[in-house]
Amino acid sequence: MDSGIDWHWARAALDWQLELGADEAIGEAPVDRFALEAAEQAARARPVEPRPERGATPAPMAEPAGPDPVLVAREMARGAGSLEALRAAMEAFDFCELKRGARNLVFGDGVPGARVMIVGEAPGREEDLQGKPFVGPAGQLLDRMLAAIGLDRASSVYITNVLPWRPPQNREPQPDEIAMMKPFLSRHIALADPDLLVVMGNISCDALLGRRGITKLRGNWAEAEGRPVLPMFHPAYLLRQPAAKRQAWADLLELQARLKALG
């Protein structure tokens, strides 16, 4: 190789990254972090502007920071009169960094207008690839759970997530990301207009109920967006902790009973 890096060296470096869990590119173009660091160091080393003399004319005020992403999201969500318009508004929303690393916007799946709307956390790898929520291993378990009480996404359930873009390496969604996408979630719920919501996992409870602690919250009806809300364990958690399926089953029966009671 001309570059001075031989094949074996490059291969070992790649294996090392894989071992660290960096098994996927998250951007279209490579980023030279060493160059970024050098640029930051150079910026830090630049002399600081001297303070103005006492009595001197003050320097003009710094440009105000850009618009507040939450307010922009609220405006865009409010203006969406249909689910298609809401999807388009989310596609056009440029303030969430996650969008840059994601392959697809994951909007929703199932039957809009169904009596049950499930709110998950954020897309994983499979969802990002297919552009649909809950299609990976956790989604397959979710489908089996719903089938156990006679529900399915082809006829009786609508599904979405708090965040429509996959966080890199499936990291935990950040509070600012949840806050800026919440107006879209609220509008999504209003437009899909379910009788009740099922929120799966801590992130969804946080977004809609303002609380975490799924072990205590699960199985207890709450209210959000003007509708009854049932918190449940996330299916990904159930895959890791099969013993918790017993409580998930109790929650599914509770959901079934509530649907019957609503008529």
Q: Which of 158, 153, 145 is nearest to 185 (CA)?
A: 158
Through-space distance between the first and last CA atoms of the chain, rounded to whole angstroms: 72
In the complex, residue closest to ligand URA by CB: 120
Applying CB under 6 A, does 167 fall inside the site for ligand URA? no
- Selected binder of ligand URA within 108, 123, 167, 173 (CB under 6 A): 123
**How far, CA to CA in Å, does 115 sit from each of 160, 189, 205, 235, 261?**
14, 11, 19, 20, 13
- Of 107, 146, 161, 183, the one binding ligand URA by CB under 6 A: 161
Cβ of residue 242: shortest distance to ligand URA, in angstroms? 17
Nearest distance in Å: CB 53, ligand URA: 58
Beta-carbon contacts of residue 219 (< 8 Å; ≥ 6 apart): 230, 231, 232, 247, 250, 251, 254
Answer yes or no whether residue 121 interacts with ligand URA by CB under 6 A.
yes
Report if residue 183 touches ligand URA, rule: CB under 6 A.
Answer: no
190-to-82, 201, 225 alpha-carbon distances in Å: 10, 21, 8
The answer to whether 138 contacts ligand URA (rule: CB under 6 A) is yes
Does residue 127 bind ligand URA (CB under 6 A)? yes
Site for ligand URA contains 110 (CB under 6 A): no
Using alpha carbons, list the distances in angstroms from residue 21 to 15, 24, 153, 165, 175.
10, 9, 33, 20, 24
CA pair distance 255, 221, nearest whole angstrom: 10
Q: Cα angle vertex 161, ends 159, 167, to 5°?
A: 145
* Shortest distance, position 207 Cβ to ligand URA, whole Å: 11
Binding span for ligand URA by CB under 6 A among 58-66, 80-88, 118-126, 240-248: 118-126
Tokens of 188: 């999504």
Of these, 69, 108, 110, 133, which contacts ligand URA (CB under 6 A)? 133
Under the criterion CB under 6 A, does residue 252 sit at the interface with ligand URA? no
In the bound state with ligand URA, the residue whose beta carbon lies nearer, of 93 and 233, is 233
Residue with tokens 């596609």: 91
Which of 26-34, 73-81, 94-102, 128-136 is the region at the interface with ligand URA (rule: CB under 6 A)? 128-136
Give the footprint of ligand URA on this chain (CB under 6 A): 120-124, 127, 133-134, 136, 138-139, 161, 236
